[in-house]
């Protein structure tokens, strides 16, 4: 047969992201006629573990997902893409929102095994992901499980060397890069070596600190300032506690209640916050001028075409007061002031999660029931939280359900009708399933509170991944040690 040549027909439903040279490796040897400009066809693996009527093991199916083969009409299969391209392209193409087209760059008469084959590839995104007011299809481009690695769409943009028009203030690489702290303040003009006041004194006083584990995060002083340096811009007022709170709050606790309430509303009334992009997002412009900018959260992989305003995306935070200052009471006051989001701009949404079933791994929509507040804590504090909730609120103000031991239930409506559901990290971890079908993950909570949140400091632990997959409007971390050496 003759070589398949020519240009690709324009398709109005697909927007060009970028064109790039991509190196593949030949999987065959011998005489193979390849002409410059000859069209190649890509074969992407599916997530179905049944192939030609034969059910494969999960291990074999996973290994096949690492291979994207390409062929020509005349020569048949000739090679495969490199792993770095395969890793990001497989989930994107299987989402049916991304496609690629390619051609041979250099003519070839003879191939040897594992020979480089240069392709010129065009990358496209379907126009549906840019539908105004509906970003559900963009959320399907998120990774199918949380492994704290690059989101496939973000990884593709980096491979294509797309420059972000707006860069995230801090990136995954910055937070995971290992670097020693400079405790003595050696002056070399580098922000990363800024001395950390107090650590050297404490060390010389005879205290020792554990070594940083291989899977823990290190953060530079410069990145830390970006995170906490904006705290001083807020003019904190003293909020009046709800009438259902029987305790008397101290002035600083009333300020905390005001701060937490405003963050949950997503409306810190500050012009600078409204016009500023969320620091976790980067903005990209693709080659097709018909498409608007794409905003990607470089940590969670969330992608959207709506401008992620800092005042609208920040719902929750870290309450890191020292031990004994009343973090529990502040949180109870917050719950009583707004039990289920009645006083906030509760976002009605369809939760679309990446789901991996027994034989398939696809993105699907899970019906969610709206819940109140989920509090996750260590087992030793479970009874204390229940007692504190009841002691600091008027009778009948809130209903508390303890999901532990013999009191576990699969009745979602029963769990959702309570104001507060209490459970432990161990129970959450054991209930977590890859397909998101656990009772906790099938409820769209208004608020999630993680007590002793440093428990999930290592993102690769099962407890941390179970917490990441929870769905909620607002998220709070309570800890007296937000930064640990």
Q: Give the least confident one: 140-144, 259-263, 353-357.
A: 353-357
- Does any domain span residue 172? no
- Check residue 459 and give its pLDDT: 76
Name the band, by pLDDT with cuts 50, 70 and 90, for residue 407: confident
Structure tokens at 231: 């705290």
Strands 316-319 and 50-51: unpaired
List pLDDT tens digits, range 73-124: 999 999 999 999 998 898 889 888 899 999 999 998 888 998 999 999 999 9
Would you say 276 and 258 are in contact if contact means Cβ atoms under 8 Å apart?
A: no
- Check residue 186 and give its pLDDT: 42
- Answering whether pTM is above 0.75, one says no
Residue predicted with more confidence, 186 or 25: 25
- Check residue 213 and give its pLDDT: 52
The last residue of one of the domains, among 101, 127, 153, is 127
- Does any domain span residue 371? yes
SS (H, E, C) the chain: CCCCCCCCCCCCCEEEEEEEEEEEEECCCEEEEECCCCEEEEECCCCCCEECCEECCHHHHHHHCCCCEEEECCCEEEEEECHHHHHHHHHHHHCCCEEEEEEECCCEEEECCCCEEEEEEEEEEEHHHHCCCCCHHHHCCCCCCCCCCCCHHHHHHHHCCCCCCECCCCCHHHHHCCCCCCCCCCCCCCHHHCCCCCHHHHHHCCCCCCCCCCCCCCCCHHHHHHHHHHHHHCCCCCCCCCCCECCCCCHHHHHHHHHHHHHHHCCCCCHHHHHCECCCEEEECCCCCCCCCEEEECCCCCEECCCCEHHHHCCEEEECCCCCCCHHHHHHHHHHHCCCCCCCCCCCCCCEEEEECCCCEEEEECCCEEEEEEEEECHHHHHHHHHHHHHCECCCCCCEEECCHHHCCCCHHHHHCCCEEEEEHHHHHHHCCCCCCCCHHHEEEEEEEEECHHHHCCCCCHHHHHHHCCEEEEEEEECCCCCCC
Task: Kindly report the CATH number assigned to the domain that includes residue 47.
Answer: 3.30.70
- Does any domain span residue 164? no
Give the mean pLDDT of the chain: 77
> Does one domain contain both 241 and 97?
no
Q: Give the least confident one: 7-16, 18-27, 160-169, 349-358.
A: 349-358
> Does one domain contain both 400 and 252?
yes
State which of 130-139, 308-317, 420-429 shows the largest mean pLDDT.
420-429
Task: Kindly report the CATH number assigned to the domain that includes residue 350.
Answer: 3.40.50.10810
The last residue of one of the domains, among 81, 111, 127, is 127
Which residue range is the domain that position 356 belongs to? 235-269+315-478
> Does one domain contain both 395 and 247?
yes
State which of 130-134, 250-254, 292-296, 374-378 shows the largest mean pLDDT.
374-378
Residue predicted with more confidence, 135 or 388: 388
Average pLDDT over residues 226-234: 51
- Does any domain span residue 391? yes
Task: Provide the percentage of residues in the chain whose pLDDT is more than 70.
Answer: 68
Q: Give the least confident one: 8-17, 57-66, 415-424.
A: 57-66
> Does one domain contain both 255 and 396?
yes
- Is residue 306 pLDDT above 60, yes or no? yes
Name the band, by pLDDT with cuts 50, 70 and 90, for residue 484: low
> Does one domain contain both 397 and 263?
yes
- Does any domain span residue 92? yes
* Burial of 376: CB neighbours in 10 Å, binned 0-12, 13-18, 19+: buried
Q: Which string of b and e fits 186-209 if b means at least 16 CB within 10 Å? A: eeeeeebbbeeeebeeeeeeeeee
- Does any domain span residue 294? no
Name the band, by pLDDT with cuts 50, 70 and 90, for residue 48: low
Name the band, by pLDDT with cuts 50, 70 and 90, for residue 23: very high
- Is residue 358 pLDDT above 50, yes or no? no
List pLDDT tens digits, range 422-467: 999 999 999 887 666 788 988 989 999 999 999 888 877 889 889 9
> Does one domain contain both 328 and 446?
yes
Q: How many domains is the chain partitioned into structurally?
A: 2
Task: Provide the percentage of residues in the chain whose pLDDT is more than 90.
Answer: 32
> Does one domain contain both 245 and 375?
yes
- Check residue 313 and give its pLDDT: 65
d(CA 350, CA 352): 6
- Is residue 184 pLDDT above 60, yes or no? no
Name the band, by pLDDT with cuts 50, 70 and 90, for residue 183: very low
- Check residue 15 and give its pLDDT: 92
> Does one domain contain both 252 and 377?
yes
Half-sphere exposure of 308 (CA within 13 A, CB side): 25
- Check residue 352 and give its pLDDT: 39
- Does any domain span residue 196? no
Would you say 79 and 69 are in contact if contact means Cβ atoms under 8 Å apart?
A: yes
List pLDDT tens digits, range 190-200: 444 333 333 33
- Is residue 39 pLDDT above 90, yes or no? yes
- Does any domain span residue 250? yes
- Is residue 210 pLDDT above 90, yes or no? no
- Check residue 189 and give its pLDDT: 41
- Is residue 178 pLDDT above 50, yes or no? no
* Burial of 103: CB neighbours in 10 Å, binned 0-12, 13-18, 19+: buried
The last residue of one of the domains, among 127, 151, 172, is 127
């Amino acid at each position: 047969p003759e070589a398949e040549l020519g240009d690709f027909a324009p398709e109005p439903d697909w927007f060009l992201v970028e064109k790039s040279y991509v190196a593949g490796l030949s999987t065959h040897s011998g005489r193979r006629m390849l002409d410059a400009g000859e069209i190649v066809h890509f074969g992407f693996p599916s997530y179905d573990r049944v192939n030609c009527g034969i059910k494969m093991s999960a291990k074999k199916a996973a290994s096949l997902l690492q291979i994207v083969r390409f062929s020509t009409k005349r020569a048949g299969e000739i090679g495969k893409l490199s792993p770095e391209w395969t890793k990001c392209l497989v989930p994107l193409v299987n989402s049916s929102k991304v496609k690629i087209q390619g051609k041979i760059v250099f003519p070839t008469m003879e191939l040897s095994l594992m020979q480089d084959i240069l392709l010129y590839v065009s990358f496209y995104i379907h126009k549906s992901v840019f539908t105004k007011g509906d970003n559900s299809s963009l959320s399907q481009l998120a990774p199918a499980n949380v492994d704290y690695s690059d989101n496939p769409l973000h990884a593709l943009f980096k491979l294509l060397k797309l420059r972000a028009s707006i860069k995230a203030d801090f990136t995954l690489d910055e937070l995971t890069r290992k670097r020693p702290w400079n405790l003595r303040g050696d002056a070399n003009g580098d922000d990363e070596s800024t001395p950390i006041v107090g650590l050297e004194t404490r060390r010389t006083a005879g205290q020792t600190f554990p070594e940083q584990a291989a899977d823990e995060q290190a953060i530079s002083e410069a990145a830390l300032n970006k995170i906490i340096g904006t705290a001083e811009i807020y003019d904190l007022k003293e909020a009046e506690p709800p009438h259902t709170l029987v305790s008397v709050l101290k002035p600083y606790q009333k300020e905390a209640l005001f701060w937490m309430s405003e963050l949950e509303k997503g409306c810190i009334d500050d012009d600078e916050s409204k016009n500023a992009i969320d620091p976790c997002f980067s903005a990209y412009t693709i080659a097709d001028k018909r498409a608007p900018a794409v905003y990607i959260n470089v940590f969670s992989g969330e992608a959207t075409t709506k401008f992620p305003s800092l005042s609208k995306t920040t719902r929750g935070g870290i309450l890191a007061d020292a031990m004994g200052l009343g973090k529990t009471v502040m949180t109870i006051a917050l719950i009583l002031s707004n039990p289920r989001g009645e006083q906030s701009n509760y976002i009605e949404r369809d939760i679309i999660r990446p789901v991996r079933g027994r034989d398939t791994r696809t993105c699907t929509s899970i019906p969610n029931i709206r819940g109140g507040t989920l509090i996750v804590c260590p087992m030793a504090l479970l009874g204390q939280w229940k007692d504190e909730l009841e002691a600091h609120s008027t009778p009948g103000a809130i209903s508390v359900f303890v999901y532990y031991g013999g009191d576990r239930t699969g009745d979602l409506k029963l769990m959702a009708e309570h104001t507060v559901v209490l459970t432990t990290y161990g129970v959450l971890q054991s209930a977590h399933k890859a397909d998101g079908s656990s009772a906790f993950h099938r409820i769209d909570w208004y608020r999630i509170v993680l007590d002793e949140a440093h428990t999930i400091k290592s993102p690769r632990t099962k407890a941390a991944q179970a917490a990441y997959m929870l769905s909620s409007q607002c998220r709070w971390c309570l800890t007296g040690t937000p930064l640990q050496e």
